[in-house]
């Protein structure tokens, strides 16, 4: 079966919605929940992960002819760990406060199944340019998902957005949203919305197909 | 970090700061393997075992890295040494005790590069635990992980029989359950 050629833009766009890593594929959940208690943390985490995704995609794709099949997972992990160490030190140099807020979760990007998954499933089979675009798309999709969760948690939990107060003084903050359980609940809420939207999309597609036949 | 009692380290890592419900580590197996109590406790046992191995590995690596003065190699050496040690232990287990391997073996590759394992290695380094303290910390983390998994599996077994709307079924429902469990674990906060 001949596959329809995929345009480069499509490579990028698919990570945003159709194959969104967090909401659709449910990958990389640990950082998505752990550091999304404020929007700024979510954004920083998303940016760090995107950097690692793009660079790992590029390196794996460039080296795909040299990496023996048996040792591929180990090689990918080495490549990913190298870039994660870079990001760790870059963030420490840029802002020590941010580094403290994200804590061990920057190092934990190494074991984010999303990155290994993209290296294995996409970058190892495609040209460097495409692998980078795919990484960028997945990274941006991941960042958006984190940001959505982060915004809900920060607005409801601390009454602020990016540190700016959102409500008049009398607002009673939902402390639960900043705490761990709030992460699970906010994520569940977004999943519901995404499921509902997808169901509507599917229904529309089915109706269109029926109308055609 | 010399004056902390072993009991409080154990309580801290198993209940108060439960790896799954307070730190969000090991979420993937938490949702993936928590549909039956039988598999859940096996997974928990396998993870506890790997955590102990990882804890010992991380302690040794840290000493070596301190001697050669290369802290920037920490991430890469942790992950490589831990995953290869687990692989080695898996082979040994296959040879020495086939029944144990049958029960736990299939889970070992799944959890080698799990964030709970890696997180444990990082946290014990950051906290500066001694060897025995780190061992107890790993023991507590493993127990807490197993407990969270088994509790979750128990709830999900019941949930399967309930009449849940199509939209909420699957991950969304599991997330809500996890949220409530996490709230319940907040009650332990005063213990330490």
> Helix, strand or coil for residue B121?
helix
Interface check for A194 against chain B (CB to CB < 8 A): the answer is no
What percent of chain B shows pLDDT beyond 70? 93
Question: How far does the CA of residue B35 sit from the closest CA of chain A (Å)?
Answer: 17
Every domain of chain B and the residues it spans:
21-186
B89: number of Cβ within 10 Å: 14
Calpha distance A18→A35 (Å, rounded): 24
Instruction: Sort out which chain A residues have CB atoms less than 8 A from B22's CB and list them.
Output: 180
Question: How far does the CA of residue A3 sit from the closest CA of chain B (Å)?
Answer: 31
Interface check for B123 against chain A (CB to CB < 8 A): the answer is yes
Question: Which residues of chain A have a pLDDT value below 50?
Answer: 1-2
pLDDT tens for each residue of A37-76:
888 888 898 999 999 999 999 999 999 888 888 778 888 8
Calpha distance B19→B6 (Å, rounded): 18
3-state SS, A87-109, equals HHHHHHHHCHHHHHHHHHHCHHH
Question: How far does the CA of residue A196 sit from the closest CA of chain B (Å)?
Answer: 7
pLDDT tens for each residue of B2-25:
567 888 888 888 888 888 888 888
Question: How far does the CA of residue B123 sit from the closest CA of chain A (Å)?
Answer: 7
- 3-state helix vs strand vs coil in chain A, percent to 5: 70, 0, 25
The pLDDT, as a whole number, for residue A98 is 86
Q: Which class for B127: exposed (0-12), middle (13-18), buried (19 or more C-beta within 10 A)? A: middle
More confident residue, B129 or B191: B129
Residue of chain B nearest A75, judged by CA positions: B80
Phi–psi pair at B17, nearest 5 degrees: -110, 55
Instruction: Sort out which chain A residues have CB atoms less than 8 A from B167's CB and list them.
Output: 192, 195-196, 199
For all residues of chain B together, what is the average pLDDT?
83
> Helix, strand or coil for residue A16?
coil
Distances (CA, A) of A101 to A91, A92, A187: 11, 11, 20
Cβ of A34 within 8 Å of Cβ of B23? The answer is: yes
Every domain of chain A and the residues it spans:
12-203
Instruction: Sort out which chain A residues have CB atoms less than 8 A from B186's CB and list them.
Output: 179-181
**Predicted complex ipTM:** 0.80
Run of H or E including A137: helix A128-158
pLDDT tens for each residue of B46-89:
888 888 888 998 899 989 998 988 888 888 888 888 888 888 87
B140: number of Cβ within 10 Å: 27
Residue of chain A nearest B84, judged by CA positions: A74
Calpha distance B32→B85 (Å, rounded): 24
């Amino acid at each position: 079966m001949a596959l329809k050629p995929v345009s480069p833009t499509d490579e990028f766009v698919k990570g945003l919605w159709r194959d969104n890593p967090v909401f659709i594929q449910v990958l990389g959940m640990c950082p998505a929940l752990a550091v999304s208690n404020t929007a700024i943390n979510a954004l920083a985490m998303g940016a760090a992960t995107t950097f690692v995704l793009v660079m790992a995609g590029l390196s794996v794709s460039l080296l795909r002819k040299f990496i023996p099949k048996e040792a591929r997972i180990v090689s990918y992990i080495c490549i990913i760990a190298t870039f994660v160490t870079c990001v760790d030190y870059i963030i420490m140099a840029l802002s020590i406060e941010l580094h403290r807020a994200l804590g061990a979760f920057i190092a934990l990007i190494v074991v984010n199944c999303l990155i290994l998954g993209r290296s294995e499933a996409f970058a190892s089979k495609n040209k460097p340019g495409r692998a980078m675009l795919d990484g960028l798309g997945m990274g941006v999709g991941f960042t958006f998902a984190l940001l959505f969760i982060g915004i809900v948690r920060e607005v409801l939990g601390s009454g602020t957005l990016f540190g700016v107060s959102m409500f008049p003084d009398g607002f009673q903050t939902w402390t639960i949203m900043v705490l761990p359980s709030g992460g699970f609940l906010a994520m569940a809420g977004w999943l519901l919305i995404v499921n509902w939207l997808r169901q509507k999309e599917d229904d529309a597609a089915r109706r269109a197909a029926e109308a055609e036949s | 970090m010399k004056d902390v009692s072993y009991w409080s380290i154990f309580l801290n890592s198993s209940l108060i700061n439960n790896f799954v419900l307070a730190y969000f580590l090991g979420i993937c197996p938490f949702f993936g393997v928590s549909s039956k109590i039988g598999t859940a406790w096996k997974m928990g046992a396998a993870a506890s075992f790997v955590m102990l191995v990882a804890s010992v590995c991380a302690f040794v690596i840290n000493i070596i890295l301190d001697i050669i003065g290369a802290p920037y190699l920490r991430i890469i050496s942790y992950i490589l040494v831990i995953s290869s040690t687990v692989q080695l232990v898996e082979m040994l287990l296959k040879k020495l005790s086939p029944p144990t391997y049958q029960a736990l073996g299939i889970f070992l590759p799944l959890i080698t590069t799990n964030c709970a394992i890696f997180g444990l290695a990082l946290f014990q380094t950051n906290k500066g635990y001694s060897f025995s303290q780190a061992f107890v910390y790993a023991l507590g983390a493993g127990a807490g992980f197993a407990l969270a998994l088994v509790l979750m599996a128990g709830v999900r077994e019941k949930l399967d029989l309930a009449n849940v709307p199509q939209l909420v079924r699957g991950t969304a429902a599991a997330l809500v359950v996890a949220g409530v469990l996490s709230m319940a674990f907040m009650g332990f906060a005063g213990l330490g």
